[in-house]
Amino acid sequence: MTLHVEWRGNHQQLPEHEVLLIAFPGIGNIGKVAIETIRKLDGTNEVARLHPIGLPPLASLDDDGLLAPPHLSLNQTVNQDGLSILTLVGSAQPNEPSQQSMMATELMEFFKAQDVHDLLVLAGMIDAPERKETFAVASSASHRIDLEQMGVDVRRDEPRSGAIGVTALLASMGPLYGMNSTCIITTTVGSSGDILASQRMIERIDDWFNLCLTLPKEGNEWLKKKLASIAPTNTENLVGELTGSHDAFYM
Protein backbone atom coordinates (compact mmCIF):
# COMPACT_ATOMS: atom_id res chain seq x y z
CA MET A 1 0.00 0.00 0.00
CA THR A 2 1.41 3.39 -1.00
CA LEU A 3 -0.77 5.41 1.41
CA HIS A 4 1.53 7.02 3.99
CA VAL A 5 -0.09 7.61 7.39
CA GLU A 6 1.38 10.40 9.52
CA TRP A 7 -0.04 10.04 13.03
CA ARG A 8 -0.39 13.31 14.90
CA GLY A 9 -0.08 14.04 18.61
CA ASN A 10 -0.05 10.87 20.69
CA HIS A 11 -2.25 8.91 18.28
CA GLN A 12 -1.09 5.63 16.77
CA GLN A 13 -4.54 4.44 15.69
CA LEU A 14 -8.00 5.88 15.19
CA PRO A 15 -9.90 6.57 18.43
CA GLU A 16 -13.26 4.98 19.09
CA HIS A 17 -15.93 6.87 17.21
CA GLU A 18 -19.57 6.83 16.20
CA VAL A 19 -19.21 7.70 12.53
CA LEU A 20 -16.70 8.98 9.96
CA LEU A 21 -17.72 11.98 7.84
CA ILE A 22 -15.87 12.47 4.54
CA ALA A 23 -15.83 15.28 1.99
CA PHE A 24 -13.70 16.56 -0.88
CA PRO A 25 -14.04 19.72 -2.99
CA GLY A 26 -16.95 19.29 -5.37
CA ILE A 27 -20.29 20.76 -6.37
CA GLY A 28 -20.67 23.96 -4.37
CA ASN A 29 -18.10 22.65 -1.85
CA ILE A 30 -21.18 21.77 0.22
CA GLY A 31 -19.78 18.73 2.04
CA LYS A 32 -16.29 20.14 2.60
CA VAL A 33 -17.60 23.34 4.15
CA ALA A 34 -20.11 21.39 6.26
CA ILE A 35 -17.30 19.35 7.81
CA GLU A 36 -15.08 22.38 8.33
CA THR A 37 -18.02 24.13 10.01
CA ILE A 38 -18.53 21.17 12.36
CA ARG A 39 -14.83 21.29 13.23
CA LYS A 40 -15.02 25.02 13.89
CA LEU A 41 -18.17 25.01 16.03
CA ASP A 42 -17.52 21.85 18.06
CA GLY A 43 -13.73 21.95 18.21
CA THR A 44 -11.38 19.37 16.78
CA ASN A 45 -7.97 17.79 17.07
CA GLU A 46 -5.93 16.27 14.25
CA VAL A 47 -5.51 12.52 14.57
CA ALA A 48 -3.61 11.80 11.37
CA ARG A 49 -2.58 13.12 7.98
CA LEU A 50 -2.99 10.73 5.09
CA HIS A 51 -0.59 11.10 2.18
CA PRO A 52 -1.86 9.19 -0.88
CA ILE A 53 -0.24 9.29 -4.31
CA GLY A 54 -1.93 11.45 -6.92
CA LEU A 55 -2.75 14.67 -5.08
CA PRO A 56 -1.74 17.86 -6.91
CA PRO A 57 1.88 18.73 -6.02
CA LEU A 58 1.06 21.77 -3.89
CA ALA A 59 2.74 22.13 -0.51
CA SER A 60 1.01 24.64 1.77
CA LEU A 61 1.39 26.23 5.18
CA ASP A 62 -0.46 24.40 7.94
CA ASP A 63 -1.99 25.90 11.09
CA ASP A 64 1.43 25.91 12.74
CA GLY A 65 2.98 27.90 9.89
CA LEU A 66 4.93 24.87 8.65
CA LEU A 67 5.18 23.81 5.04
CA ALA A 68 3.24 20.58 4.65
CA PRO A 69 3.03 18.25 1.64
CA PRO A 70 -0.41 17.64 0.11
CA HIS A 71 -2.47 15.45 2.41
CA LEU A 72 -5.91 14.54 3.72
CA SER A 73 -6.66 15.73 7.25
CA LEU A 74 -8.31 13.20 9.59
CA ASN A 75 -9.66 14.82 12.76
CA GLN A 76 -11.67 13.92 15.83
CA THR A 77 -14.50 16.06 17.17
CA VAL A 78 -16.15 15.32 20.51
CA ASN A 79 -19.68 16.72 20.61
CA GLN A 80 -21.71 18.19 23.45
CA ASP A 81 -22.63 14.75 24.80
CA GLY A 82 -19.11 13.31 24.59
CA LEU A 83 -19.79 11.45 21.34
CA SER A 84 -16.68 11.00 19.17
CA ILE A 85 -16.98 11.84 15.47
CA LEU A 86 -14.18 11.47 12.92
CA THR A 87 -13.94 13.77 9.90
CA LEU A 88 -11.79 13.44 6.79
CA VAL A 89 -11.31 16.37 4.43
CA GLY A 90 -9.12 16.73 1.38
CA SER A 91 -8.15 19.98 -0.27
CA ALA A 92 -8.14 18.24 -3.66
CA GLN A 93 -8.43 14.88 -5.37
CA PRO A 94 -6.41 13.37 -8.22
CA ASN A 95 -7.23 14.39 -11.76
CA GLU A 96 -6.55 10.97 -13.29
CA PRO A 97 -9.37 8.41 -12.96
CA SER A 98 -6.90 5.59 -12.25
CA GLN A 99 -5.38 7.58 -9.37
CA GLN A 100 -8.84 8.36 -8.02
CA SER A 101 -9.60 4.64 -7.94
CA MET A 102 -6.27 3.89 -6.29
CA MET A 103 -6.84 6.55 -3.63
CA ALA A 104 -10.34 5.28 -2.84
CA THR A 105 -9.11 1.69 -2.57
CA GLU A 106 -6.22 2.61 -0.27
CA LEU A 107 -8.46 4.72 1.95
CA MET A 108 -10.99 1.91 2.28
CA GLU A 109 -8.25 -0.58 3.15
CA PHE A 110 -6.96 1.83 5.80
CA PHE A 111 -10.47 2.31 7.22
CA LYS A 112 -11.01 -1.45 7.37
CA ALA A 113 -7.69 -1.99 9.16
CA GLN A 114 -8.73 0.69 11.67
CA ASP A 115 -12.16 -0.93 12.34
CA VAL A 116 -14.22 1.85 10.80
CA HIS A 117 -17.81 0.64 10.38
CA ASP A 118 -19.87 3.62 9.20
CA LEU A 119 -18.97 6.20 6.54
CA LEU A 120 -21.05 9.22 5.61
CA VAL A 121 -19.78 10.85 2.43
CA LEU A 122 -21.10 14.41 2.02
CA ALA A 123 -21.68 15.94 -1.42
CA GLY A 124 -23.66 18.55 -3.33
CA MET A 125 -25.83 18.08 -6.42
CA ILE A 126 -26.77 20.85 -8.83
CA ASP A 127 -30.50 21.40 -9.12
CA ALA A 128 -33.09 24.14 -9.56
CA PRO A 129 -32.86 27.01 -7.04
CA GLU A 130 -36.31 26.26 -5.62
CA ARG A 131 -35.36 22.69 -4.76
CA LYS A 132 -33.79 22.63 -1.32
CA GLU A 133 -33.45 18.98 -0.33
CA THR A 134 -31.06 16.69 1.49
CA PHE A 135 -31.27 12.95 1.07
CA ALA A 136 -29.24 9.77 1.42
CA VAL A 137 -28.20 7.07 -1.05
CA ALA A 138 -27.18 3.72 0.45
CA SER A 139 -24.73 1.19 -0.95
CA SER A 140 -26.38 -1.96 0.41
CA ALA A 141 -29.99 -3.07 0.71
CA SER A 142 -29.66 -4.09 4.36
CA HIS A 143 -28.20 -0.74 5.42
CA ARG A 144 -30.82 1.09 3.38
CA ILE A 145 -33.51 -0.60 5.45
CA ASP A 146 -31.71 0.43 8.65
CA LEU A 147 -31.49 4.03 7.46
CA GLU A 148 -35.16 4.14 6.53
CA GLN A 149 -36.10 2.80 9.96
CA MET A 150 -34.05 5.63 11.49
CA GLY A 151 -36.15 8.16 9.59
CA VAL A 152 -33.49 9.04 7.01
CA ASP A 153 -34.80 10.25 3.64
CA VAL A 154 -33.28 7.52 1.45
CA ARG A 155 -33.69 7.77 -2.32
CA ARG A 156 -33.62 4.90 -4.80
CA ASP A 157 -33.86 6.97 -7.99
CA GLU A 158 -31.19 9.65 -7.48
CA PRO A 159 -28.63 10.58 -8.67
CA ARG A 160 -30.19 9.34 -11.89
CA SER A 161 -26.98 9.33 -13.95
CA GLY A 162 -24.70 8.11 -11.19
CA ALA A 163 -21.68 9.92 -9.81
CA ILE A 164 -17.91 9.97 -10.32
CA GLY A 165 -14.90 11.02 -8.28
CA VAL A 166 -13.17 9.80 -5.12
CA THR A 167 -16.15 10.58 -2.91
CA ALA A 168 -18.50 8.64 -5.19
CA LEU A 169 -16.20 5.62 -4.99
CA LEU A 170 -15.90 5.81 -1.19
CA ALA A 171 -19.67 6.11 -0.84
CA SER A 172 -20.26 3.00 -2.95
CA MET A 173 -17.43 0.67 -1.86
CA GLY A 174 -18.51 0.02 1.73
CA PRO A 175 -20.02 -3.44 1.09
CA LEU A 176 -16.72 -4.60 -0.45
CA TYR A 177 -15.00 -3.94 2.88
CA GLY A 178 -17.72 -4.92 5.34
CA MET A 179 -18.69 -1.30 6.08
CA ASN A 180 -21.82 0.79 5.87
CA SER A 181 -21.13 3.59 3.37
CA THR A 182 -23.76 6.20 2.62
CA CYS A 183 -23.77 9.30 0.45
CA ILE A 184 -25.55 12.33 1.90
CA ILE A 185 -26.49 14.73 -0.89
CA THR A 186 -27.77 18.30 -0.62
CA THR A 187 -29.11 20.11 -3.66
CA THR A 188 -27.54 23.43 -4.63
CA VAL A 189 -27.48 25.88 -7.51
CA GLY A 190 -23.79 25.01 -7.81
CA SER A 191 -22.33 28.20 -6.38
CA SER A 192 -19.40 27.91 -3.97
CA GLY A 193 -21.19 30.56 -1.91
CA ASP A 194 -24.29 28.46 -1.20
CA ILE A 195 -24.03 28.99 2.55
CA LEU A 196 -27.46 27.71 3.51
CA ALA A 197 -27.01 24.44 1.60
CA SER A 198 -24.08 23.51 3.87
CA GLN A 199 -26.15 24.54 6.85
CA ARG A 200 -29.06 22.36 5.74
CA MET A 201 -26.72 19.40 5.35
CA ILE A 202 -25.39 19.78 8.90
CA GLU A 203 -28.91 20.06 10.28
CA ARG A 204 -30.10 16.92 8.50
CA ILE A 205 -27.19 14.65 9.46
CA ASP A 206 -27.42 15.93 13.02
CA ASP A 207 -31.11 15.07 13.15
CA TRP A 208 -30.91 11.71 11.35
CA PHE A 209 -27.86 10.34 13.17
CA ASN A 210 -28.29 12.01 16.60
CA LEU A 211 -24.84 13.60 16.51
CA CYS A 212 -25.72 16.47 18.90
CA LEU A 213 -23.71 18.97 16.87
CA THR A 214 -23.53 22.70 17.46
CA LEU A 215 -25.59 24.03 14.57
CA PRO A 216 -24.67 27.15 12.58
CA LYS A 217 -27.27 29.89 12.56
CA GLU A 218 -28.37 31.51 9.32
CA GLY A 219 -25.03 31.24 7.60
CA ASN A 220 -22.98 32.79 10.40
CA GLU A 221 -20.06 35.06 9.55
CA TRP A 222 -17.39 32.39 9.86
CA LEU A 223 -19.20 30.18 7.36
CA LYS A 224 -19.59 33.07 4.93
CA LYS A 225 -15.89 33.88 5.12
CA LYS A 226 -14.91 30.24 4.67
CA LEU A 227 -17.01 29.86 1.55
CA ALA A 228 -15.67 33.11 0.14
CA SER A 229 -12.07 32.00 0.73
CA ILE A 230 -12.45 28.81 -1.31
CA ALA A 231 -14.71 30.18 -4.04
CA PRO A 232 -13.05 29.74 -7.43
CA THR A 233 -12.00 32.89 -9.28
CA ASN A 234 -12.36 31.12 -12.62
CA THR A 235 -15.99 30.80 -13.69
CA GLU A 236 -15.34 28.24 -16.42
CA ASN A 237 -17.27 24.99 -16.26
CA LEU A 238 -14.52 22.88 -14.71
CA VAL A 239 -16.95 20.10 -13.89
CA GLY A 240 -17.91 19.86 -17.54
CA GLU A 241 -14.27 19.63 -18.55
CA LEU A 242 -13.62 16.82 -16.09
CA THR A 243 -16.64 14.76 -16.98
CA GLY A 244 -16.60 15.35 -20.75
CA SER A 245 -19.58 13.67 -22.35
CA HIS A 246 -20.37 11.63 -19.26
CA ASP A 247 -23.69 12.66 -17.76
CA ALA A 248 -22.93 11.59 -14.18
CA PHE A 249 -22.36 14.37 -11.70
CA TYR A 250 -18.91 14.88 -10.20
CA MET A 251 -18.71 14.61 -6.43
117, 86 in Cβ contact below 8 A?
Answer: no
The tally of domains found in the chain comes to 1
Please report whether residue 241 resides in a domain: no
User: How many Å apart are CA 54 and CA 102, to the nearest integer?
Assistant: 9
Three-state SS letters, 152-174: CCECCCCCCCCEECHHHHHHHCH
Please report whether residue 3 resides in a domain: no
User: How many Å apart are CA 216 and CA 181, to the nearest integer?
Assistant: 26
Mean pLDDT by 10 residues, the chain (251 residues): 90 95 88 92 95 92 92 93 93 90 96 97 89 95 97 93 89 97 91 79 96 79 58 43 44 58
Please report whether residue 2 resides in a domain: no
Say what the pLDDT of residue 193 is.
60
Please report whether residue 240 resides in a domain: no
Strand 84-90 vs strand 19-23: parallel, antiparallel, or unpaired?
parallel
Say what the pLDDT of residue 241 is.
35
Q: What is the largest CA-CA distance in the chain?
A: 47
Please report whether residue 40 resides in a domain: yes
Please report whether residue 231 resides in a domain: yes
Say what the pLDDT of residue 223 is.
59
Please report whether residue 120 resides in a domain: yes
Say what the pLDDT of residue 189 is.
83
